[in-house]
Structure 1
């Protein structure tokens, strides 16, 4: 590209990643809130990912579980809710209104329409009935503070009612009103996930009333979210932005313009950074290693990943649906994967040994020991199993 547009090479992209994703030693954070703010969003589909992603970036990983639970369930500085691509994430609470307006409203409208259509097809009660159940459910949740669907059904028995979905089709099933309604209320920003029933690795969550937030203009919210994400992950291409947000390309371009994003030149493509962020970044300092969990927001941050992940490594590190498993990083690139064995040992394997010497191996092994120490007796099995993770966990 010409016209004074700055070129950002792979080395600088990796330096930005090291510093802004809190992975280099000198960049590690002090609290889970700092980690979430730096990354914008922590993948929450697998509950363990949130804690593992935070722990990999804290200066003192021993405080990971207690401090993350404090942030999520006591201070409520972090919130688990639906966001981009209809996926569950953990966001800074201050960002929830932006996420809801920029990505949630369109999904919410589709989800409610789908539920009403399926209920009507099954001969279930109408929208007025559903609205009455919804209001009763939200009132019960407000009284309880946090509750499971079963507990809410004690206060609102109509939540237990069922209807047949796709009758006569090969995928016919029976849905309970509580399951579908709470999902709709979640994407509408009315309820969020609360404290789990079990430990921090449990996927059985209570529900809680969502924190109050202002209703924002969609276009303005999209520009703000995109600006925040570019600060954390720029430079990124239009394809990266469209994939991460789940927006149409016209929405991405409108948000880029509104946010004042600056174009830069990448290797054979055009990228964008946040306004005023096109200048060089400092060197991260000492070489760094990291063991990141499956679905980590860094590994999943871009659609175009060749600058940090060699294409030939993907079959071993991703499942069939495109979910990344646990990864080993060295100086800004993925070089292998890791797993936890039944006895708790953290094991890892290199898939790319280019430039990996004795110091790199020692640093990676130190991170493995660091992870094992704070996990202690906790056992982690990724929700989405990948070929290398399965292989390593059985060795």
Structure 2
């Protein structure tokens, strides 16, 4: 693993630093991608030593984190106090995309006519499932079905009016059915930013670097979905307080406290908090689908070989769960019932037993690893 990715691994808390709790990790990372709720929960597991899925779900219920549309117009977990300024940056593009998709779904109207209907459907109702929201919209003269309902909720989110609530029991994979809720009802106050645009861009750059450094403005633009000129604006506003790496390109180191940047030194079995020093040879992490380690920068060069890229990113918006060994992607994995199926890229035995045991602990149910040929998998690491 290169020094560049060694630093990024630590910035992403994949060395498992001192426990931060669910809100602490969200604040540290700025946003945790969450279009797949189970994958998002596993992103907390791989960056901690004691959290459980129930801890993540409790943080949503207690409103210490909120699931909403964020960077790139994608669902993320964010802190409520960050939602306003993040929405001020990502909202305009999300609104344009939502109104286009609403039209494609056959629903006529402009934001001026549709937004009041969304508010009337949600305000004072508590979290509603997609079907329940669709019924209330239809009763109000907006005949929305299927994905049109989701895009109408996204339009509301782009204007700070809608967030997602806790999953309703009965959804796929134990995650619960998604629910949508009036933002001010759920959070206790309207979603609004106290920062002007330049201060928001500076905060974005500072917080992005804290979780992704070393990185460049092009990386920030790719991650946030904002134009490169906006990324450069944020960069310039904070560059004086950070260290620029040799080689130019605006690549900066971040500002994480020293206590947060130690890298695990124990055997690579999936447990243990960061203790400083170099990463252990063959230190293993089972990254979930859509993990930030593969989405956080413009390129994955250095951690994912071109020959294996299609196995991880086959297209269609899919980014599979991966096996990380010493900072490099060495295979994929999937969870089907109690079986954690590992598919190495090469003919090698990946030491995932410890990580599989931790997935079992996190989910609260038995998990048994196997290789893609269906044979029992006993590797534990060295």
Same structural fold, with TM-score higher than 0.5 when normalized by the shorter chain: yes
Secondary structure (helix, strand or coil) at the match of 1:265 reads coil
Output the TM-score relative to the length of structure 1.
0.75
Match of 1:145 among 91, 104, 126: 126
* Corresponding residue of 1:332: 327
* Corresponding residue of 1:102: 89
Distance (Å, rounded) in 2 between the aligned partners of 1:96 and 1:142: 19
Distance (Å, rounded) in 2 between the aligned partners of 1:213 and 1:175: 26
Cα 1:351–1:124 shift into 2, 3 Å: closer
Asked if structure 1 preserves the Cα contact closer than 8 Å seen for 2:53 and 2:362, the reply is no
Match of 1:349 among 332, 343, 355: 343
Any gaps of 5 or more consecutive residues in structure 1?
1-9, 164-173, 380-390
Matched, 1:234 2:213: yes
Distance (Å, rounded) in 2 between the aligned partners of 1:104 and 1:290: 34
CA drift of 1:315 comes to: 1.8
Distance (Å, rounded) in 1 between the aligned partners of 2:7 and 2:228: 25
CA drift of 1:129 comes to: 4.6
CA drift of 1:186 comes to: 1.9
* Corresponding residue of 2:360: 372
CA drift of 1:333 comes to: 1.7
Any gaps of 5 or more consecutive residues in structure 2?
267-279, 376-382
Asked if structure 2 preserves the Cα contact closer than 8 Å seen for 1:160 and 1:176, the reply is no
Secondary structure (helix, strand or coil) at the match of 1:45 reads coil
* Corresponding residue of 2:11: 20
CA drift of 1:221 comes to: 0.9
Distance (Å, rounded) in 2 between the aligned partners of 1:201 and 1:269: 45
Distance (Å, rounded) in 2 between the aligned partners of 1:30 and 1:331: 23
Secondary structure (helix, strand or coil) at the match of 2:299 reads coil
Secondary structure (helix, strand or coil) at the match of 2:72 reads helix
**Which range is displaced more, 228-237 or 302-311?**
302-311
Cα 1:123–1:351 shift into 2, 3 Å: closer
Secondary structure (helix, strand or coil) at the match of 1:182 reads helix
Asked if structure 1 preserves the Cα contact closer than 8 Å seen for 2:288 and 2:321, the reply is yes
Secondary structure (helix, strand or coil) at the match of 1:263 reads coil
Matched, 1:290 2:285: yes
**Correspondence 1:1-80 to 2 at 5 A:** 11-25=2-16, 27=17, 29-61=19-51, 64-74=52-62, 76-80=63-67
Cα 1:81–1:351 shift into 2, 3 Å: same
Match of 1:309 among 287, 292, 304: 304
**Which range is displaced more, 366-375 or 86-95?**
366-375
Asked if structure 2 preserves the Cα contact closer than 8 Å seen for 1:15 and 1:284, the reply is no
CA drift of 1:316 comes to: 1.4
Asked if structure 2 preserves the Cα contact closer than 8 Å seen for 1:161 and 1:177, the reply is no
Secondary structure (helix, strand or coil) at the match of 1:67 reads helix
* Corresponding residue of 1:5: none
Distance (Å, rounded) in 2 between the aligned partners of 1:326 and 1:123: 36
Asked if structure 2 preserves the Cα contact closer than 8 Å seen for 1:196 and 1:204, the reply is yes
CA drift of 1:22 comes to: 2.4
CA drift of 1:72 comes to: 0.8
Output the TM-score relative to the length of structure 2.
0.78
Distance (Å, rounded) in 1 between the aligned partners of 2:148 and 2:263: 54
Matched, 1:254 2:233: yes
Distance (Å, rounded) in 2 between the aligned partners of 1:303 and 1:291: 22
| CA shift digits 1:83-137 (9 cap, x unpaired) | 11111111122211221112223432x2465378779xx7956766535424422
Specify the structure having the higher radius of gyration (Cα). Answer: 1
Distance (Å, rounded) in 2 between the aligned partners of 1:68 and 1:187: 24
Cα 1:84–1:317 shift into 2, 3 Å: same
Asked if structure 1 preserves the Cα contact closer than 8 Å seen for 2:13 and 2:47, the reply is yes
Cα 1:102–1:161 shift into 2, 3 Å: closer
Cα 1:55–1:263 shift into 2, 3 Å: same
CA drift of 1:332 comes to: 1.6
Matched, 1:133 2:113: no
Matched, 1:114 2:108: no
Aligned length: 348
Asked if structure 2 preserves the Cα contact closer than 8 Å seen for 1:32 and 1:58, the reply is no
CA drift of 1:155 comes to: 5.3
